[in-house]
Every structure is written in structure tokens, then in C-alpha cells.
Amino acid sequence: VRPGPIQGDMVHPYLKRRAGLEQASYPNQAIKEVLDRTLGVPLFQEQAMKLAVVAVGFTPGEADQLRRAMGAWRRPGVIEKFSEKLTTGMLANGLTRKFAEQVFNQIRGFGEYGFPESHAASFALLVYVSAWLKCHHPAAFAACVINSQPMGFYSVSDLVKDAQKHGVEIRPVDVNFSDWDCTLEYTQPGQPALRLGMRVVRGLSQEAVSLLVQRRREGGRFPSLEELRRRAGVSRRVIMQLADADAFSSFQRDRRAALWEALAQEKNEVEQPLFELVEASDETQPDLPVMQPAEEVEMDYRTAGLSLKGQPIMFWRSELDQKRVLRARQLADSPDNKYVKVAGLVLLRQRPSTAKGITFVTLEDETGTINLVIRQHIWERYYRIARRSNAWMVHGTLENRNGIQHVVVHRLEDLSSNLGAHQPKSRDFR
């Protein structure tokens, strides 16, 4: 979000007027002609230039100098040089001091880089098209965004969960169905399912996957791990990565069974030259213990940074319930200004340069996401947890207004030791 219109106190009045909660007013017809289409609020640089002409009496050349000053967003204070001339000109044209100061504060907001209208329109078109695609073709939209990673604000895990919320069936990585990229699978009328591509498996070579997929297309699906190794010629490292990622489920092999079989085959290959005349014995695979759900989810996060089987916080929910920790989905029904406790994985930390030291954090539990607001003195008090831990319990005050919930943080507790060694890393921005 560009900070200029926010700092100039333009965003909230515009939104209130658009929602019919506030009426726009204009001191004269000339100013109405400039601002009427944006409900009395100058949102674009071009409007600020026109205001300088009709309200102050600037020449076109002076208005262009103002435009240049508004564009110098990396040099704070440049716009201040126009303060006296803008205010004096508006007073001389019969406008009130209150209006003159309001307009100057709005123009000063562009000193933190407000949008030109042409720039805003270009972005708006992209947003409109993207929103249409996401609404009508959510599976294709999600697949394309994931295949374009790394990019943007959200992790693959965030994108997968968002697609699921919009009704998309997500299918796991599987050597007999997945390509390198995510693909769509049409098995019934309606929206297709999204098959995760092997690109989501951390450390996996695209070259090795491309060869595997080529051999599968040439000879059909692989009936067994042994056949996959024989036909695709993949290395032990690739087999271990795929087994860790639970990519052999179509062989009716879970992670531990697949790893054991891979290691056993390698052992036989190493021993074969020495005992090639001896008939191979049938070594029975041991009865390996089944992985617990929490172990499965932890391994999913370690290998791919996401899980379709669950979310780590769910395995601590009974303990959190005893401490009266709310779920994310409960916040919408909780009263404004209530003291609450929430817990989750840290997905995102962001501290904009214009936020006066405030850090915005997104937590995730098994029911959704939670928006946190952390003031600078709280951040500094809990700095070790705030910067290094990726799982928190939060004590704070709920702000629940106009359908939007935030928790203003008072205290942080570190939950990382409860959730195992392989927690997803947050995406941090400034």
C-alpha cells in the first residue's frame, strides 16, 4: 500500500464517502470539477496539480514543479517549500484556512509517493483481471501463481490454503501424477482439482524431475519404486527426497516404508557385484511403526513448507483451550476492545517505514489467520521472541470494527519449542 494517500488523510474519508457514511462537500464549483469523481478527495498527483491551478492560482509551469516535488519521495521536506505559497494563494482566493491546511496536508502526503492516475489505472486493470480469474477459475489461478514462485507477498502454503478456502481441491505430490509444475486434473464436472507439482519439494532437482516425468509419459505410470528407479534412473538422493515428501502414496507406500525400500534396493545394488552368482534372498520388510499425525505434518513442513494433512497448532489445541486461547475464526464474533489470547505460526512480519515503528504480523492457526499490531516498545521488550521465534502465544486487545479484526499486542510467549524443529519460516518485509 502506498503511504501517501494514507498520510494525507485521504483514504478513510474516501472509503466512508463511498460507503455512504459521509457526504462530500466542496467550497466552490471549480474545486468540485477537480474532485467530484473521487468524492472530494484528491487521490492522484494530477488532481493535486489541478488543485494548485484552480485553488491557488499556480501557472502550469509552477504546477509541474509541484509535480516534481511530489515525485521526490526519497527526499523528505521537498514539498514543504511550497507550504507558504499554497496556503497564501488559497486564502487570497477566498478559501478558509482550515481548507487550505487540509489541502496542503493532502498534497504533502504525496511526498511519500502518491500514485499518478495513469499508474493507478494500470495496476487497477491487473487487479480487476486477477480478481476475475480468481473468482471464476480459482484452481487455474492458484496453479499459475504457485508455478511463478518465488515472487510476491505470500508463500506457497498461504496460496494453497487460500485456494482451499475458495473450494479448490488440492491433491498431494505423487510421482505417478505430478509434473514439475502444478497442474489441473479434471475428474468430474465442475472446477478441476489442483495437483501439486514436484517443484514444492525442497531441494529437488528440476532436471531429475523432468527425466522422471518423461519416462512416465513414455512407458506409463510406475507400478513400484523398483520400476521407477530402473526406468527413470534417479539417484538415491532424489528417491530419499521424494520419500520424505510422501510422494510414493500411489505405490501404497508411506514415508517410512518407501525410505526402507529405497535403502534396501541400494544395499542390494552395492552387494550384487560380489554375490552376483548367489540367488538373492527375499528379505522381508520389517513391520515399521506408523507415523503419528503430528509427525506427518512436521515432515510435510520440513520437506515442502506446507501440509495437506493438518496444521501444527491443532495438535496443541487441547492445551491452548485450557488456557482460554481463542481460535482465529472466533475473533469475528468477539466484542471490540476485549482482552484476548491467540496462538499460531508467524507467517509474515512487516514494518513499513511510515508506520512510526509499528510492526504488522500475521499469525496462522488451524482455523485461519490473525492480524497483529505490535507497537515499538512491545517489540523491543520481547525482541528475542519477536525476531527469532516462528510460533507465538499472544496476549492483547481485540479491535473488531467494520468486519475487520486486529489484535493489539501486549505480551508475547514463545511456542516454538512445543512445535518441533521444522516450523515454516516467516516472510518478512519492510
Q: What is the pLDDT of residues 236-259, one digit of tens each?
A: 889 989 999 999 999 887 788 878
Please, which pLDDT band fits residue 114 given cuts at 50, 70 and 90? low
pTM summary value: 0.80
For the ranges 29-33, 40-44, 374-378, the lowest mean pLDDT is seen at 40-44
pLDDT at position 271 is 43
CATH no. for 313-429: 2.40.50.140
HEC string of 239-307 equals HHHHHHCCCCHHHCCCHHHHHHHHHHHHHHHHHCCCCCCCCCCCCCCCCCCCCCHHHHHHHHHHHHCCC
Q: Are 387 and 394 in contact (CB under 8 A)?
A: no
Residue whose cell numbers read 496476549: 395
Write down the pLDDT at residue 338: 95
CATH number, domain 138-271, options 2.30.130, 1.10.150, 2.170.150, 3.40.30:
1.10.150
Residue 11 pLDDT > 90: no
Q: With a cut of 50, say whether residue 62 has pLDDT above it.
A: yes
Which residues have a Cβ under 8 Å from the Cβ of 214 and sit 6 or more positions away? none
**Looking at the predicted structure, is the pLDDT value of residue 8 above 80?**
no
Q: List the one residue out of 125, 227, 139, 244 whose CA is nearest residue 176.
A: 227
**pLDDT tens-digit readout, 128-152:** 999 999 999 999 999 999 999 888 7
Task: Please state the rounded mean pLDDT for residues 38-46.
Answer: 86
Mean pLDDT over residues 88-116, rounded?
A: 82
Unique residue bearing C-alpha cell 468540485:
32
Can you tell me the distance from the alpha carbon of 390 to that of 398, in angstroms, rounded to the nearest whole number? 21
Q: How confident is the model at residue 280 (pLDDT cuts 50, 70, 90)?
A: very low
Within the chain, all domains assigned CATH 1.10.150 are found at 138-271
Q: Rounded to an integer, what distance in angstroms lies between the CA atom of residue 108 and that of residue 91?
A: 18
pLDDT in tens, 202-237: 999 999 999 999 999 999 999 988 899 889 888 888
Q: Give the SS3 label for residue 214.
A: helix
Contacts of 222 (CB under 8 A, 6+ apart): 175, 176, 216, 228, 231, 232, 251
389: helix, coil or strand? Answer: coil
Q: What is the reported pLDDT for 328?
A: 95
**What rounded mean pLDDT belongs to the chain?**
86
Q: Return residue ranges of the chain for CATH 2.40.50.140.
A: 313-429
pLDDT tens digit string along 348-383?
Answer: 898 876 557 889 999 999 999 999 999 999 999 999
Residue 278 is predicted with a pLDDT of: 43
